[in-house]
Amino acid sequence: MYPEELKYTDDHEWVRVENGKAYVGLTHYAQEQLGDVVFVELPDVGEEFEMGDSFGVVESVKTVSDLFMPIAGKVVEINEDLEDSPEAVNEEPYGQGWIIAIEIEDESQLDQLMDSEAYQKTLE
């Protein structure tokens, strides 16, 4: 349920580093708490954010929540499929439900994130 190759934040985002980019999405726990996701507000490609900045919004049938940058970086890709299929955040939070990809500004920030085991302990 919480893949070991990912890093996690207290705000329930995950990070997967692949081909020099960091992909960011919501954890299974987050999407479960939100309920059915109906809209995802995405940033523009090229926008730069610091670790902890709000970069977008996810809206569900229950609530509206900010999305927070797990690490600093520049947005190099957005998941445009979420515009027509926001439910992918619920159905495949670690696959087709990814939200953005960023160019990593400072790789050492990844060390500040939790591994799968530590993240699961925060949920207990």
| Domains in the chain: ranges and CATH | 11-118 (2.40.50.100)
pLDDT value at residue 55: 98
| Most distant CA atoms of the chain, gap in Å | 37
Strand arrangement of the beta sheet that strand 21-26 belongs to: 7-8, 13-18, 21-26, 100-104, 73-78, 48-49
pLDDT for 98 beyond 90: yes
Share of the chain above pLDDT 90, in %: 98
Specify the pLDDT at position 68.
98
What average pLDDT score do residues 34-48 get? 97
What is the mean pLDDT of the segment spanning 14-26? 96
Identify the residue whose tokens are 């977008």. 56
Which value, to the nearest 10 degrees, does the dihedral of the CA atoms of residues 53, 58, 62, 64 take?
Answer: 40
Per residue in 46-93, pLDDT (tens digit) is 999 999 999 999 999 999 999 999 999 999 999 999 999 999 999 999
What number of CA atoms fall less than 13 Å from residue 77's CA on the CB side?
Answer: 15
Q: Would the pTM of this model clear 0.75, i.e. be above it?
A: yes
Fill in the DSSP letter of residue 41: E
> Strand order of the sheet with strand 54-60?
37-41, 54-60, 64-68
At 20, is the pLDDT very low, low, confident or very high (cuts 50, 70, 90)? confident
Is the pLDDT at 14 greater than 90? The verdict is yes
pLDDT exceeds 90 at position 1:
no
| 21 bridge partner residues | 18, 103
